[in-house]
Amino acid sequence: MVDGTATVAAVFNVSGNLLLLPVHGIWAVVWMTVATEMVLCIDLSAVLFHVWKNIPSARLGGNAA
């Protein structure tokens, strides 16, 4: 799952830079870096939430019967 997250972020960054660099110059690179970090944060948070939801309740301190 994390490999997919890095791939999505890389494709987002490169495609955004290719589209925006000719128009906005170096500022496109700056803002695409910020936007890519936001994409990574959201995707990795979703992965961590998914993993957390799949932890058995016995490991979370629940009653093990």
What phi and psi, each to the nearest 5 degrees, are found at residue 30? -60, -50
**pTM listed for this prediction:** 0.73
Cα–Cα distance measured from residue 65 to residue 63, given in angstroms and rounded to the nearest whole number:
6
Is the pLDDT confidence value at 65 over 70?
no
Output the pLDDT for position 56.
79
27 within a domain of the structure (yes/no): yes
10 within a domain of the structure (yes/no): yes
Instruction: Single out the residue of 24, 31, 49, 53 nearest to residue 13, CA to CA.
Output: 31
Q: What are the residue ranges of helices labelled H in the chain?
A: 2-24, 26-53
**Interval 6-64: pLDDT, tens:** 898 999 999 999 999 999 999 999 999 999 999 999 999 998 998 888 887 666 665 55
Output the pLDDT for position 55.
81
Instruction: Determine contact, residues 35/12, Cβ cutoff 8 Å.
Output: yes
60 within a domain of the structure (yes/no): no
Q: Looking at this protein, which amino acid is placed at residue 21? A: L
Q: Work out how many domains the chain is built from and give that number.
A: 1
42 within a domain of the structure (yes/no): yes
